[in-house]
Amino acid sequence: MQAKAPEIIRILSFFALGGLLMFLIQPILYQNQIFFISDQPPEIWISNEYIPGTTLVFLVSASAAIAWYFWSARAKIASAEQVQGWKLMWWLIGLFPVISIGVAIATYNTSPDGLTTLAFLYPIDVFLLYWIPTATSSPAPVKYLPPLSVFLRPLFEPGS
């Protein structure tokens, strides 16, 4: 199966939206003390801890969504059992972004304040970068396989 331009454009649009949220809007929330970092200046924490951790979560989540799309686009599904195997594959690929959250927080964050807010923000970021793109843009053989894709896909693909 070939990749379809609308699906690729949707995926890239979610990546752009996620990047805007992660690298522009969320740092502003810290700079303006909406999310408070009390143990160091927010600008230093953002550049030394937030940006490296966020870059890791962004890259792993986006890579996981791309991997899912291209692997599933090549799927030759002939039976219900094979669909179940791809469902497992979706969840296994989705573990990589979840693991990246733990690695980013454990490796790059030294602030207790940052821990609290990142534990809230990173799952939202993964949701936007992995789950939503796969739920709205998976190729035909598995297009309704990601959770809630039956409800989300028609919002982004009229006539679906």
pLDDT of residue 154: 86
Please list the rounded mean pLDDT of every run of 10 residues in the chain (160 residues). Answer: 79 97 98 94 96 98 97 84 88 98 96 94 98 93 91 78
pLDDT of residue 158: 65
- Residue ranges of alpha helices (H) inside 1-108 are 5-20, 26-31, 42-45, 51-73, 80-108
pLDDT of residue 85: 87
Of 130, 158, 155, 96, nearest in space to 18 by CA = 130
pLDDT of residue 159: 61
Other C-beta atoms closer than 10 Å to the C-beta of 14 total: 22
pLDDT of residue 140: 82
C-alpha–C-alpha distance, residues 86 and 68, integer Å: 10
pLDDT of residue 102: 97
pLDDT of residue 116: 92
